[in-house]
Amino acid sequence: MRHVKIVRTARGMQKLALQARGRGIRIGFVPTMGYLHEGHVALMKDARKRIGPQGLLVVSIYVNPTQFGPTEDLSRYPRDFRRDRRLCREAGVDVVFYPQDSEMYPGRSEGLFSTYVTEVALSVGMEGASRPTHFRGVTTVVAKLFNLVLPEVAVFGQKDCQQASIIQRMAKDLNFPVRVVVAPTRRERDGLAMSSRNAYLTPSQRSQAVCLSQALNLARQLVRASVRPLSAAVLTAKLKRLIDRAPEARVDYIAFFDPRSFQPVKQVSGGTHLALAVFFGKTRLIDNALL
């Protein structure tokens, strides 16, 4: 089992990364907000395979304030650094970058931080519409992390498909020398996508939350069974009826879209992407699938 080095400062992380790159060591990177689960561990293992046993595997644990809206769950987002560090050690991580806000956004509390990275095409709908400042915070913090960790490869999860595509576009548009890999969604045995926010769910809500994956499966079945494109409006109504059977479920959005442009489509066929966001009480969960 590898020793895990904890780095808490931005300067310390960048210095370590520069030294590694200077020695020809490949750096793999998995950015997280902590409260790790097996889905995160799968991303770490994927990154390790891509950089090899002699590479430097870095995981960041940082609850990024700029991607939370004013009424969202920043203060109550689950945190357990001791457990996260153990999971990283067991997964063969070499470095955990664990900064505070003052390291990532120097001067922000005094109004002296004013530079943000914004993607303006893929981020408009779905999560971008429901959480207007969310993606600006995501792209800004990931750009900063890329500059500090200097990875050759960075691995993101497909569960956040819009986010992953935006990061890929940002890396390409801004010439970051990093390959952004999107790994498959990891699921619980009953089909619920693994998420740190699942910890918020009551036992009743947890059992109801499987309606997200059930809705994805229903859409797949309907598309496969049809010889012609289906109406997105009709499919949306059918999926909403399924989700509404869960007494505490409240649909935020059901979106059918082109996976390249993230533009909504009126007709659904093979190759269309589906994304869902559903509240269970105050807990908001997302999921998606290529149909």
Q: What dihedral do alpha carbons 148, 97, 162, 114 form, nearest 10°?
A: -50
Whether 10 and 104 have beta carbons less than 8 Å apart is answered as: yes
d(C-alpha 30, C-alpha 96), whole Å: 10
Tokens read off for 71: 């009424």
40 tagged catalytic: yes
CB atoms within 10 A of CB 214: 18
Using only the alpha carbons of the chain, give its radius of gyration. Answer: 20
Distance CA 64, CA 113 (A): 14
| Residues in CB range of 282: below 8 A, 6 or more apart | 73, 200
Alpha helix locations (H) across 33-187?
38-51, 81-90, 101-104, 127-130, 134-149, 161-173
Contact assessment for residue 155 and residue 88, using Cβ atoms and an 8 Å cutoff: no
Paired residues of 274 in beta bridges: 256, 289
Name the active-site residue from 3, 40, 134, 273: 40
> Distance between CA 200 and CA 181 in Å, rounded?
28
Which residue in the block uniquely carries the two structure tokens 């069974």?
Answer: 225
CA atoms within 13 A on the CB side of 14: 10
What residues contact 237, with CB distance under 8 A and at least 6 apart? none
Task: Give catalytic residue positions.
Answer: 40
